A and B are shown apart, each in its own frame.
Chain A
């Protein structure tokens, strides 16, 4: 009975999944919450365990998160009737501008900011990571372009005897060149298709690993239509380029020389 009365008086809190897992806490458990390691604090009941939002700014934060009622936290840390900030919802984008202006003109002792402006500042870390990824991406593209060009040149070069035979039986240089370029283009498209498949499977693995590691629903690797189009187009252009370069050399060489005679 006493326990029931006590439970009725206890305030509720929510904790995040990581804290729940690490401290083996469950909904309904009673915990002590205090404002400093040395003070006694108050008892509280865990009302819910919450998951992390898909917010990039929370990724690198390894701290635990506890939500309390406002007055409960103010009392715990001796903050009085104070808050750090207010979040204000407005009716549309233009209303937000008007509200920011009105508050800043009239307010005494605090300042209003648009959420978008704050987001730009707090996302600076991700802007840096994004620039780094882009630079790495450019290096990777250059490396894969050279690789692709080299492989396709070799592939076309391997056809020297077939080309010689075709030329000897009277097939025109243009037809031979077209067939070689088409073959190179076909190989490029098939190869890039397989590459897109591998990339998609890899992105699933990357997302699975990092979502588990950072306990977040954020997606870390995305294979979008634009990326697929870019990869296939680049591969096709390089394939055609390699095909033209190699085929031009082959059709200009005498068929008997190609046969080693």
Chain B
């Protein structure tokens, strides 16, 4: 009954109600987007880091993975020492370098990873075979598109370029064995992966038995701190970056977006709250006569309060549900803009939808709707009956 009365009251001023619901829907869309932004990129990055089960990354001291050209000497010995630890399940050494695909007088530059194909966690094979043979590589779609190569083709690839002599060095004929999706690379970045030994040999004596990064998977994830401590003691020139450390660094670098989402989310809530409060207050002011008559014929104060609060809640719920759909569309658009961040892995989503985000947005706006209806409801319930009736009759 109360709900029917509340809806009837909203229907009475249809244009006004539609406009208010539209306002709440936009506020809800913005709120959902901001909730998704505040949690999405973090969650997306965490999922990416743990996608292949590696909990630790070892880099040259003071650097982030592939942040500089620094590399770690004695890769074979380090891998052997790490693999001897019972807590460590898998070690994947990785060397990063720029390579040049030679095409007559010109060349195409690409990023190359030297990996141990049996242990690697950098790419997923999409077609063909893995780079198991010494002269085999796997390449991503961008590389194949740029070079016009296909699986099975042989390419002449050089690892070095001497600008003074204008000549390439470390040249090899490599066969494209497979097509792969690289997990940590930016969108549009050309990339290949070759066996670690092959890339080390191509890059010359300076990179002999070196690696840019070691990815480490533990048998028991709870041992991360203990193993990190041991690695730091054993290899003082190496930095250990656990998933938690990487998350902390990402949090620091992207804190701007978290703050922005908190501010805009709060503004959206305030806008939704003000809109519903104003509308319900005006609606109550217009129906003062009707409300006192209801009170005069014996309708309880609680009934009046419930009806008015329901009006505000109904507007908020309908607006929030509409806003959820709108928010998903705008989030997709905003994500397209932010995914063009240079250097950011293509797999990262700034706006990652999780059902709890939608529930959070709808819940917050519903709570706002309830709160927004409380003040006008209290005012309506506390109207002096005789005085108001007389005033309304005179008016």
Contact = CB atoms under 8 A, between A and B. Distances in A.
B334 A135 contact: yes
B23 A147 contact: yes
A146 B23 contact: yes
B253 A146 contact: no
Contacts of A153: 15-16, 19
B237 A143 contact: no
A214 to B, nearest CB: 9
B26 interface: yes
B149 interface: no
Contact of A139 (B30, B237, B252, B274): B30
Nearest to B267: A140
Q: Is the interface of B mostly helix, strand, loop or mixed?
A: helix
A151 to B, nearest CB: 6
B337 A143 contact: no
B302 interface: no
Interface string B10-37: 0000011001101100110110010000
A139 B29 contact: yes
A212 interface: no
Interface stretch (A41-49, A124-132, A186-194): A124-132
Interface in B30-69: 30, 33, 61-62
Interface string B226-264: 000000000011000000000000001100000010001
A151 B26 contact: no
Given A60-B253, A139-B30, A149-B19, A154 B334 contact: no
A151 B268 CA distance: 16
Contacts, number: 80
Interface stretch (B111-119, B152-160, B203-211, B338-346): B338-346
Contacts of A125: 341-342
A143 B334 contact: no
Interface stretch (B82-90, B127-135, B275-283): B275-283
Nearest to B23: A146
A93 interface: no
A80 interface: no
Interface in A21-45: 36-38
A135 B342 CA distance: 19
Nearest to B33: A139
A37 B61 contact: yes
A86 interface: no
Nearest to B67: A63
A149 B18 CA distance: 12
Contacts of B62: 37
B147 interface: no
Interface residues of A, number: 31
Contacts of B19: 146, 149-150, 153
Interface in B319-364: 330, 333-334, 337-338, 340-342
B340 A128 contact: yes
B222 interface: no
B334 A132 contact: yes
A101 to B, nearest CB: 19
B337 A146 contact: no
B290 to A, nearest CB: 11
A157 B16 CA distance: 10
A136 interface: yes
Interface band, chain B = 35 or more
Given A60-B253, A147-B23, A154 B30 contact: no
Given A62-B253, A149-B19, A128 B338 contact: yes
Nearest to B22: A146
Given A124-B342, A150-B19, A139 B236 contact: no
Given A109-B164, A158-B282, A143 B16 contact: no
A60 B285 CA distance: 52
A135 B30 CA distance: 11
B342 A108 contact: no
A79 interface: no
A142 interface: yes
A146 B17 CA distance: 12
B358 to A, nearest CB: 18
A139 B26 contact: yes
A143 B253 contact: no
Residue among A38, A154, A260 having the largest count of chain B Cβ atoms under 10 Å: A154
B271 interface: yes
B325 to A, nearest CB: 15
Interface string B351-395: 000000000000000000000000000000000000000000001
A216 to B, nearest CB: 13
A124 B344 CA distance: 12
A37 B237 contact: yes
Nearest to B61: A37
20 contacts: A37-B237, A38-B236, A109-B163, A125-B341, A125-B342, A131-B337, A132-B338, A135-B334, A139-B26, A139-B29, A139-B30, A139-B330, A147-B23, A147-B271, A149-B19, A150-B275, A150-B279, A151-B275, A158-B285, A161-B395
Given A62-B252, A143-B271, A154-B279, 13 more contacts: A36-B61, A37-B236, A108-B164, A128-B341, A132-B337, A132-B338, A135-B334, A140-B264, A142-B26, A143-B23, A143-B26, A146-B23, A153-B19
For the complex of A and B, list the 4 residue pairs with the smallest distance between their C-beta atoms, beginning with the closest: A109-B164, A109-B163, A143-B26, A146-B23
